[in-house]
């Protein structure tokens, strides 16, 4: 289906129709089995083999009825994308027929070869065994004829080789520590704390035919060449603009596919850059939100092709117009329905809120480097610090109301009032007066309080949100642990809570910044405050290997020292490989497409100069153009040679992954920029008919 007529869509029937969710389980599982499985999902009680057998069989019957012929363990290796390997349900019988089988063992455990996934030295290829383990907290689903079972992925020796394992461990950690604190401050109604996440996903859609003419987009996801078009995002006419029919049809299809998978796609709109859009789901628990975000990215790409479009998830597909990010909205919820970051009407006297808020503030300041690296990627290096995305400096926006409360506490030990928003009068009786929020928004802050949650706005559009969330969960767990340790020893709990909040305000107010994060003044101010400003991925990676951060992760059982060290290696390797591919692609396009096109143009220009000269002596215009083309062409050729040499030098730096990544950044990435500058200049002077690549105007406006 692909039309914009949504009148016939039965949303309630579609939603979750391909998901083995709670209501399906309740219908198809015997009562005792259902109860036992719920206990595993909710309390982590280990699953009985017999129960697994019954669940597997019910899952198989349900999946086959939905058209599935295969099952796959679905996992999230360190590549940042998901992996799957499909097995059919068939099992031969002695009489030459088949029966359809799916055992409890097959549900719970898989054994993919681990040697072909990034492991950062954790396993050599001769020790290739790896395991996937069923994550029953994220529901299984049917997609493309297979039953997908969300799983964690580990090595033979039990080290995590994926993004899900530390995320699940971090959810346990923050639950443990938050529960200690809540009990100590007298909360008797809560028995479990979960973190909740709603990621807003930005993306570009371009025409598939044009995409296929660009080797850079095909191989690297971004344009390595392209002069600035006459029109970019200057008129600010795209953000929230009317959605074109073709795009609307895509969005409708996308929503339906996501709803079937139980992804609660909610909001869709045009974004700032031409051809850029956004989708936001309704928030859910961190683990499911992470799985759903992976499904969202995959589905975005798949559905695009049905519409003759290609979805670009790269952080910076086009130079000179905004790139794409992912706003990770994060909060803490309880099983009795509280949002622990909900300030209420009078936050100044909401002790529980102020304590949790303080914990987040301290966590973000102390572990700023770890949060920074959780959003670091070669693609995101183009955004962070450019005037479109938050700076590379981690700071917190709290807004007027909370900042005022913290200032009151700092001055006098406690806060007596909460500023309220009042009403907005629009100056005519025909419009309603609107209740105003207690605080304005700030689009420039990397970590902004937005009413009852924090929005971590640094994450790149193509990244898995697992790392930023297990980092946040663990950092906050650690501070809650410190708080619980103190409260356990305190004789006067209320006095100790006040002391803790006051101390945190004093020690960490440096990380709070409500001003313009895009300004150069902030960069200077942040330096004065001693806040780290880590501008590149290669520099950010060191944080994973820092003793304080390894100790944090090990203490809470999220990642061991060895696992952290392997992840350091993996991040350097990913950087190196990405820039290597980009460099080689740039060479290929420049050498085999751009340079030949310029040579052809130059040759034709030369022969027309000869031809015209015999008729009309004045060929000054042609000669001037010839000379311009000639100069840039020579420079291009020299810079291609320089880039090739840079790639060679960097590629030969084996052995030291850090030094190699640095060389790719300092030599290769830089040389790519020089090649591009020549090529982009040539694009503006060479006859358009000769130019071998679709231009930015084509890509951004012919959708
Ligand atoms: P905006 O662009 O105005 O920030 P959106 O509606 O596009 O807002 O996205 C906000 C996101 O925050 C949604 O995914 C929403 O579900 C999510 N969200 C709302 N409340 C919470 C919460 N308590 N925890 C986590 N995410 C939340
Ligand atoms: Mg939004």
Give me the chain's average pLDDT, please. Answer: 93
Q: Counting beta carbons within 10 angstroms of the beta carbon of residue 230, is it exposed (0 to 12), middle (13 to 18) or buried (19 or more)?
A: exposed
All domains of the chain in start order, with CATH: 6-162 (3.10.20.70), 170-227+236-419+438-559 (3.30.590.10), 574-701 (1.20.120.1560)
Asked if the model's pLDDT at residue 600 lies above 90, the reply is yes
pLDDT of residue 466: 97
Residue-wise pLDDT for 207-265, tens only, equals 999 999 999 999 999 999 999 988 877 777 778 888 899 999 999 999 999 999 999 99
Q: How confident is the model at residue 2 (pLDDT cuts 50, 70, 90)?
A: very low
Q: How far is the CA of 434 from the centre of ligand 2 (A)?
A: 21
Is pLDDT at 114 greater than 90 in this prediction? Answer: no
d(CA 343, CA 366): 23
Distance 491 CA to ligand 1 centre (A): 39
Ligand nearest to the CA of 330: 1
Ligand 1: which residue has its CA nearest to atom 2?
200
Distance of CA 452 from the midpoint of ligand 1 (Å)? 9
Can you give the pLDDT at residue 432?
A: 80
Q: Which ligand is nearest to the CA of 280?
A: 1
**pLDDT mean over 548-555:** 98
pTM of the model: 0.95
DSSP labels for 135-185?
Answer: -TTS--EEETTEEEEEEEEEETTS-B-BSHHHHHHHHHHHHHHHHHHHHHT
Name every protein residue with a CB atom under 6 angstroms from any ligand 1 atom.
Answer: 196-198, 200, 267, 280-283, 329-331, 339, 450, 452-453
Once rounded to an integer, what is the mean pLDDT over residues 201-212?
A: 98
**394-448 per-position pLDDT tens digit:** 999 999 899 999 999 999 888 888 887 777 777 777 778 777 777 777 788 999 9
Check residue 430 and give its pLDDT: 78
Backbone conformation region of residue 494, classed left if phi is above 0, alpha if psi is from -120 to 50, else beta: alpha
Among protein residues, the one with the nearest Cα to ligand 1's atom 11 is 198
Q: How remote is the CA of residue 263 from the centroid of ligand 2, in Å?
A: 17
Residue 126 confidence class, pLDDT cut points 50, 70, 90: low
Cβ proximity of 300 and 311 under 8 Å? yes
The answer to whether the CB of 650 falls within 8 A of the CB of 665 is no
Q: Which atom of ligand 1 is nearest to the CA of 452?
A: 23
Higher pLDDT, 500 or 390: 500
CA of 459 to the centre of ligand 1 (A): 15
Given the DSSP bridges, would you call strands 146-155 and 70-75 parallel, antiparallel or unpaired? parallel
45 SS3 class: coil
Residue 127 pLDDT: 66
Q: What is the mean pLDDT of residues 103-118?
A: 87
> Whose alpha carbon is nearest atom 5 of ligand 1?
280
Tokens of 231: 């029109």
Whose atoms come closest to the Cα of 455: which ligand? Answer: 1
pLDDT, one tens digit per residue, over 18-45 is 999 999 999 999 999 999 999 998 887 8
Q: Enter the tokens of residue 582.
A: 């980009």
**pLDDT band at 1; cut points 50, 70, 90:** very low
Pocket test for ligand 1, best of 265, 450, 453, 469 (most atoms within 8 A of CB): 453
Which tens digit of pLDDT belongs to each residue from 672-700?
999 999 999 999 999 999 999 999 999 99
In ligand 1, which atom is closest to the CA atom of 331? 24
pLDDT at 505 over 70: yes
CA 456 to centroid of ligand 1, rounded, Å:
11
Report the percentage of the chain scoring pLDDT > 90.
80
Ligand in closest contact with the CA of 266: 1
For ligand 1, atom 17, the nearest C-alpha belongs to: 198
């Amino acid at each position: 289906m692909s039309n914009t007529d949504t009148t016939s869509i039965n949303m309630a029937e579609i939603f979750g129709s391909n998901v083995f969710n709670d209501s399906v389980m309740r219908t198809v599982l015997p009562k005792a089995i259902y109860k036992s499985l719920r206990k595993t999902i909710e309390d982590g009680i280990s699953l009985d083999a017999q129960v697994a057998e019954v669940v597997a069989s019910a899952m198989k019957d349900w999946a086959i009825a939905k058209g599935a012929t295969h099952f796959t363990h679905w996992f999230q290796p360190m590549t940042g994308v998901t992996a799957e390997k499909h097995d059919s349900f068939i099992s031969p019988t002695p009489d030459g027929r088949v029966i359809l089988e799916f055992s409890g063992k097959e549900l719970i455990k898989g054994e993919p070869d681990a040697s072909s996934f990034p492991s950062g030295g954790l396993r050599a290829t001769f020790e290739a065994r790896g395991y996937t383990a069923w994550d029953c907290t994220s529901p299984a689903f049917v997609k493309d004829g297979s039953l997908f079972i969300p799983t964690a992925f580990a090595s033979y020796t039990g080290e995590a080789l994926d993004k899900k394992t530390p995320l699940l461990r971090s959810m346990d950690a923050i639950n443990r520590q938050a529960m200690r604190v809540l009990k100590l401050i007298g909360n008797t109604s809560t028995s479990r704390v979960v973190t909740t996440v709603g990621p807003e996903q930005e993306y570009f859609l371009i025409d598939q035919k044009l995409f296929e003419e660009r080797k850079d987009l095909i191989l690297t996801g971004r344009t390595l060449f392209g002069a600035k078009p006459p029109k970019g995002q200057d008129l600010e006419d795209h953000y929230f603009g009317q959605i074109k029919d073709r795009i609307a049809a895509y969005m409708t299809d996308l929503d339906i596919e996501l709803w079937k998978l139980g992804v609660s796609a909610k909001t869709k709109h045009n974004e700032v850059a031409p051809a850029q859009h956004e989708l936001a789901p309704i928030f859910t628990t961190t683990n499911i939100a992470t799985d759903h975000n992976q499904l969202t990215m995959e589905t975005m790409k798949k559905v695009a092709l049905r519409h003759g479009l290609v979805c670009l998830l790269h952080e910076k597909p086009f130079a000179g117009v905004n790139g794409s990010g992912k706003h990770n909205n994060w909060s803490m919820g309880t099983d009795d329905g509280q949002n622990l970051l909900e300030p209420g009407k009078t936050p100044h006297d909401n002790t529980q809120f102020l304590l949790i808020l303080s914990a987040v503030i301290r966590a973000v300041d102390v572990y700023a480097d770890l949060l920074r690296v959780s959003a670091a990627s070669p693609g995101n290096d183009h955004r962070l610090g450019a005037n479109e995305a938050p700076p590379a400096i981690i700071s917190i926006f709290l807004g007027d109301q909370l900042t005022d409360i913290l200032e009151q506490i700092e001055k006098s030990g406690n806060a007596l009032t909460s500023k309220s928003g009042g009403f907005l009068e629009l100056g005519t009786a025909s419009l309603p007066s609107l209740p105003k929020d207690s605080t304005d928004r700030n689009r420039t802050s990397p970590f902004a309080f937005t009413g009852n949650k924090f929005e971590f706005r640094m994450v790149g559009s193509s990244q898995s949100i697992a790392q930023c969330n297990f980092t946040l969960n663990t950092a906050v767990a650690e501070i809650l642990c410190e708080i619980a340790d103190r409260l356990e020893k305190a004789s006067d709990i209320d006095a100790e809570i006040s002391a803790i909040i006051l101390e945190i305000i004093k020690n960490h107010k440096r990380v709070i910044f409500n001003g313009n994060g895009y300004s150069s003044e902030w960069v200077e101010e942040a330096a004065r405050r001693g806040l780290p400003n880590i501008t590149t991925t290669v520099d950010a990676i060191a944080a994973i290997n820092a003793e304080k951060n390894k100790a944090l992760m090990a203490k809470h059982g999220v990642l061991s020292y060895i696992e952290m060290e392997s992840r350091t290696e993996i991040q350097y390797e990913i950087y190196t490989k990405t820039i290597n591919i980009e460099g080689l692609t740039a060479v290929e396009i420049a050498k085999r497409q751009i340079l030949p096109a310029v040579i052809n143009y130059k040759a034709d220009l030369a022969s027309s100069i000869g031809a015209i000269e015999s008729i009309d002596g004045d060929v000054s215009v042609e000669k001037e153009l010839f000379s311009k083309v000639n100069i840039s062409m020579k420079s291009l050729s020299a810079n291609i040679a320089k880039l090739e040499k840079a790639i060679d030098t960097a590629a030969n730096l084996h052995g030291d992954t850090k030094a190699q990544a640095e060389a790719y950044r300092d030599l290769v990435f830089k040389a790519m920029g020089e090649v591009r500058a020549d090529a982009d200049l040539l694009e503006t002077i060479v006859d358009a008919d000769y130019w071998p690549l679709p231009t930015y105007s084509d890509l951004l406006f012919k959708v």
